Amino acid sequence: MKNKNMAISIALGLVLGLSAIPTRAEMRAAELRVNGMTCPFCVFGIEKKLRHVSGVNEVEVFLDEGRIRLVFSAENTATVREIENAVEDAGFELSGLSVDVEGTLVEDDGAMVLQAGEASRYRLIERNAGSVQPLSPEAKRRLRAKAAGGKVLVSGEVHSHSDDAPALLVERVEPVKDGRP
């Protein structure tokens, strides 16, 4: 009886312990394009605001190219909305955003979604015959084959980044093994 209670306690402890592990962060890197970054106050202001986005480790500003690169820590909950808000808070608007996101492929109402943490989902899209569309059955099959039931790192450009589930134009997909692609 004592052993049985101990086994239950251990099992309970494991379950509780596992659930306390923070959701695995999923954004690895992002590249922003921002128009009108000319003055150092603006540039370093955007940099300051982006440093407050959860999990941002590095902010690199390429002033001449109007480009900013973000690198995220391994445990983060950053979202596209947060990045967009930070740029707006600095008085600018995003003109483009590309991300590297790690997550799990799931089907949602016929669409393929990259589930990246509890609150972060990306609708995967592709460019087909000159227009942007949901993934074709063939593209979905290829992605599932790459993932092989595990996680993938998807790189691409974010479209309609104001949505709760932003659309991600898939440019590159790599399987993630042992936490690294």
Binding site for another protein (CB under 8 A): 38-41, 43-45, 47-48, 51, 63, 89-91
Strands 67-72 and 131-134: unpaired
Reported residue count of the chain is: 181
On whether the CB atoms of residues 56 and 25 are closer than 8 A, the answer is no
In the complex, the smallest distance separating the C-beta of residue 36 from another protein, rounded to whole angstroms, is 11
| 67 vs 159, beta carbon nearer another protein | 67
At 161, the amino acid letter reads H
If we measure between CA atoms, which residue out of 32, 36, 65, 64 comes closest to residue 49? 32
| 31 vs 47, beta carbon nearer another protein | 47
| 71 vs 176, beta carbon nearer another protein | 71
Q: Output the CA–CA distances (angstroms, integers) from residue 50 to 14, 27, 124, 152, in the order listed.
A: 36, 14, 25, 25
In the complex, the smallest distance separating the C-beta of residue 38 from another protein, rounded to whole angstroms, is 7
In the complex, the smallest distance separating the C-beta of residue 93 from another protein, rounded to whole angstroms, is 16
In the complex, the smallest distance separating the C-beta of residue 27 from another protein, rounded to whole angstroms, is 21
| 86 vs 168, beta carbon nearer another protein | 86
| 22 vs 36, beta carbon nearer another protein | 36
CA distance 135 to 87: 30
In the complex, the smallest distance separating the C-beta of residue 77 from another protein, rounded to whole angstroms, is 21
CA distance 145 to 82: 32
At 155, the amino acid letter reads S
Q: Residue holding tokens 């998807």?
A: 154
